[in-house]
Amino acid sequence: MHELSLACSIQEIVEQEIGRRCGGKLRGRVPSLTVRVGSMSGVEPEALSFAWDVTREQGPFPEAHLEIEKIPARALCNRCSRAFLLEESNGECPSCGVCPFRIVEGRELEVRRIVWEDDES
């Protein structure tokens, strides 16, 4: 399952980031983290959420709740420069019809924010 290895990668990012923040040894709590998932990233948010719940149990921050920010695919028409949501179109520019466009948003897959509570402060 694709999302399971992804959840493991997110776990690694969290550990690296928290390790950096506390200068080495992991401590504190991570109540939540936010991941941006584009609709064209090939990741199923529900599957990722499920995979995360499995993964976090084995990590140093089992309480970490994964918030998923869904990013709709946004396209920009090459001819008239109109920006539009791909989901709301028929796969073509709503202004000038059949014309090439490029995807400018919606392929994201990134850890946006990690909330960390230091228990030593």
The widest CA-to-CA distance across the chain, in whole angstroms, is: 59
Contacts (CB under 5 A) with Zn ion, residues 34-93: 77, 79-80, 82, 93
> Does the footprint of Zn ion cover residue 104 (CB under 5 A)?
no
Task: Kindly list the distances between the CA atom of residue 105 and the CA atoms of 35, 66, 109, in Å, as whole numbers in the listed order.
Answer: 15, 22, 11
Least Cβ distance, residue 99 to Zn ion (angstroms) = 5
Which residue in the set 54, 83, 96, 103 belongs to the binding site for Zn ion (CB under 5 A)? 96
> Which of residues 20 and 102 has its CB atom nearest to Zn ion in the complex?
102
Task: Kindly list the distances between the CA atom of residue 97 and the CA atoms of 72, 76, 103, in Å, as whole numbers in the listed order.
Answer: 20, 13, 16
Least Cβ distance, residue 39 to Zn ion (angstroms) = 21
Closest by CA position to 53, among listed 44, 45, 64: 64
> Applying CB under 5 A, which residues contact Zn ion?
77, 79-80, 82, 93, 95-96
